[in-house]
Amino acid sequence: MLVKPIVALSKADAPAVPHALAPREAAERPLLTEAQPKVGRSQELGHEDHELDKAFTATLARLTGGLSPIALSMAYFDWASHLATAPQRQIEIFRDAMRFSTQLAQRALHSAAPERKPWDLIKPQPTDHRFVKPEWEIEPFNFLAQAFLLGEQWWHNATTDVRGVAPANEAIVEFSVRQTLDMFAPSNFAGTNPEVLQKTFQSGGENFVFGCQHWCSDLLQLLASSKPGTGNAEFIVGKTVAASPGKIIYRNELIELIQYSPTTEKVRPEPILIVPAWIMKYYILDLSAHNSMVRYLTAQGFTVFMISWRNPSAGDRDVAFDDYRTLGVKAALDMIGLIMPRRHVHALGYCLGGTLLSITSAAMARDGDRRLKSITLLAAQTDFTEAGELTLFINESQVAFLEDMMWERGYLDTTQMAGAFQLLRSNDLIWSRVSRDYLMGERAHPSDLMAWNADATRLPARMHSEYLRKLFLHNDLAEGRYMVDGRSISLSDIHTPMFVVGTIRDHVAPWRSTYKIHYEVDADVTFVLASGGHNAGVVAPPSEPGHFYQVKTKLADAPYLGPDEWQKTAARIEGSWWPEWVGWLNSRSGEPCEPPSMGVPGTSNQLPDAPGDYVHL
């Protein structure tokens, strides 16, 4: 363990568990103590210190938003050079251009014909919501939209299916071209967007006044983005969100452990430990009262513990990925063992927290540690070979670029993480907002999920480098090379029953990637494919309409079923998947008993009530 644990207990317990730091002292101390020898990035990765090179790259990163221009240029060179030596492919691309141009010209000449129907040349994809309003079926706006979509289709054809191009480079070129074209969509400009023109005529131009106000407000908020918090007065951490009653019962220099107060007279003997991702604040699983997973679980008679990660600063550049295992999951399990001795634990991991829980579980299984009763993974990957478009940002050149950028800062800034996720869904998260907020002069009604999304976190430089290299680039965990305590671990050592949730529209952890857990572990796996995306598909309370899911269980010794076959045969159920999960937990839990004490019995606890201090950093 790199850092000594800190918990508020009585003096009699001090030799086993030292005293707690004051909140401010804990917040300002780096996660590594001064006595701990630090391992720099260059030492860890086997590179010499090239200070000038790294300083130049870090400066360049400010201009490119953290994207490596070398990686991008190499991908374009690969595509362009192979296309230059493929004359037949060039002819095909030229023919496509002539065909599309001819179709557009004929469409323009006969656009006023009464038999002409909208979208007769090309239709928007079902996921493309830019042109769904009926105003886009009116000429000339329908012609402009179809011309744009045909242009996008032509560029897609031109950048794909070129013989000899590396698949990764082809994906980068296609993605970057699509992102560039999306900037020039007719929906992004007032003069070519019929919805904006209609709004302008109806309001006498007032929409542009409101749009300017919104732009100025967003600019001021961006300039003040270093201030933590949701940035929304309607959603205040500890009052309207992250407000489930509980107590911080343990703190070290990386986590605060929350124990939530019981809401039933009796509880199941097995507690639930939730391991959230540290690329986000923990309270996505404890939002408002109506959609809080924590409140739902306590109402079902479970004792719930939650890890709240500390937001790192520049002084925490050398915090390793394994520190999150030892000071996070392991420390939390040890503390739960003091409060509820000889009790098995239902463990849940969300997103990156699920990846960490998988690593921890495999290491525990290897070492004969049987404390886990069940494992639940929510939108969590353990094999990163098909991790969706996020892998476009992960190659050797890009990782080295990010490492040099983080070398200067000591962490990955919130803007880089948020920007990468927004690019994956730029039409929904960037351009639709530009049109709505600045051209229409409207604002989406604030929600707790939006407020939580604005409450971003940072990532320590060393930890993020190890995460990208060991998991994304080299896929060490899935291929049996991941080391814990100097020895390799294997997911096949996991025999604990698992409940795994993927979501249909997940752009961060595609459900087919999370589905791979079926052939990685030697355990019974109940897999759920839920409606929604990475966040909205997980935060799916029973009281909220419109949810559905598919579910099917594979026993450890049953034959493997591929994802497409699974999707065809799995039962579809209307409603939230939460009751399905609780029923699964109940079948693996003992009879209800008296609730445990809040904290270690017989000790004094001077730590604050939930949500604690770390969530505000």
**Residues designated catalytic:** 351
Between CA 500 and CA 349 the distance in angstroms is 10
What is the chain's alpha carbon radius of gyration, rounded to the nearest angstrom? 26
Decide if 379 contacts 350 (C-beta within 8 A): yes
Separation CA 615–CA 612 (nearest Å): 7
Place of tokens 């007769």: 120
Q: Are 333 and 257 in contact (CB under 8 A)?
A: no
Q: Are strands 487-488 and 498-503 parallel, antiparallel or unpaired?
A: unpaired
Instruction: Confirm if 122 and 148 have CB atoms less than 8 A apart.
Output: no
Cα–chain center distance at 2: 27
Q: How far apart are CA 150 and CA 42, in angstroms?
A: 48
| DSSP type of residue 548 | E
Q: Is 51 left (phi over 0), alpha (psi -120 to 50) or beta?
A: alpha
Residue 530 has phi, psi (to 5 degrees) of -100, 155
How remote is the C-alpha of 53 from its chain's centroid?
31
Q: What is residue 215's three-state secondary structure?
A: helix
How far are the Cα atoms of 106, 215, 232, 282, 323 from residue 610, in angstroms, in the given order?
Answer: 66, 35, 20, 12, 23
The DSSP secondary structure of 154-219, one letter per residue, reads HHHHHHSS-TT--HHHHHHHHHHHHHHHHTT-GGGSGGG-HHHHHHHHHHTTHHHHHHHHHHHHHH
220-229: long-range contacts, CB 8 A cutoff, minimum separation 24: 225/414, 225/415, 228/311, 228/455, 228/616, 228/617, 229/455, 229/616
Cα 580 to Cα 583: distance, rounded to the nearest angstrom: 5
Tell whether the torsion through CA atoms of 128, 130, 131 and 134 is positive or negative: positive
Angle at 509 between CA 274 and CA 520, to 5 degrees: 80
474/470 Cα distance (integer angstroms):
5
The Cα 322–Cα 463 span in angstroms is 8
Encoding tokens for residue 454? 């604005």
Phi, psi (5° rounding) for residue 362?
-65, -40
Alpha carbon distance 552, 569 (integer Å) = 8
Contact indicator for 257, 340 with CB cutoff of 8 Å: no
The tokens for 221 are 């908020």
Burial of 156: CB neighbours in 10 Å, binned 0-12, 13-18, 19+ = middle
